[in-house]
Amino acid sequence: MSRLRLAVLASGRGSNLEALIGARDRGRLGIDIALVASDRTEARALHVAREAGIATLALEPKSFPDRAAFDRALFAEVGEVQPHLIVCAGYMRVITADLVGTWLGRMINIHPSLLPAYPGLRTHARVLANGDREHGASVHFVTADLDAGPVIAQARIAVEADDTPESLAGRLLPLEHRLLVASVGLFAAGRVALDGRHVRIDGLRLERPLQLTDKGTLV
């Protein structure tokens, strides 16, 4: 198939975006990043994109009467670049249901927990507060419910006795990068699709999320 055309939504530092750009530049991902869009004009992700020669868009939510109006404006611009896939990479806004429906099956998110555990914010602190022995990250299809879409793939790490939310986040981040790159690679190869509430890989229903190996592959 032709190269996968992406639009990336990001609110922060853009480290997952950097991972995608790096994998593209090394020839590991057959992707073109058509646009990086943000809800924060000062997001570092925008700088990362510009340095890589990628078009950017920043809209301020306070400039719109409500969340729905902001989303309509943002996704109108995203739609103009005709992406095959939208990647939410550290995008911190909940997207209105009608826009999610428009892009259902063509929008994914990376979330720092082993979903369905710990949707929402402060995942690292919540894992430690509950005394969990394992933590991780998930790539899932975006649906109208927060962090509740079908999970495509996960990466796992052990929680150490002296972990803090900061140390746990720091150890997980490199795995998040590898997980996102590997997951987008499935789309670039035409291997993954959403079928109702289920993920299909190579046409077969996925019974459990794929797992990231030490070699950065998904099994």
Note the maximum CA span of the chain: 49
Smallest CA-to-CA distance from 99 within 7, 199, 203 is with: 7
Smallest CA-to-CA distance from 187 within 30, 7, 10, 28 is with: 30
Residue found by looking up tokens 């991972």 in the block: 19
Cβ atoms of 181 and 212 within 8 Å: the answer is: no
Tell me how far apart the alpha carbons of residues 146 and 123 are, in angstroms, rounded to a whole number: 14
Residues serving a catalytic function are 111
Tell me how far apart the alpha carbons of residues 122 and 62 are, in angstroms, rounded to a whole number: 24
By three-state DSSP, how is residue 89 classified? coil
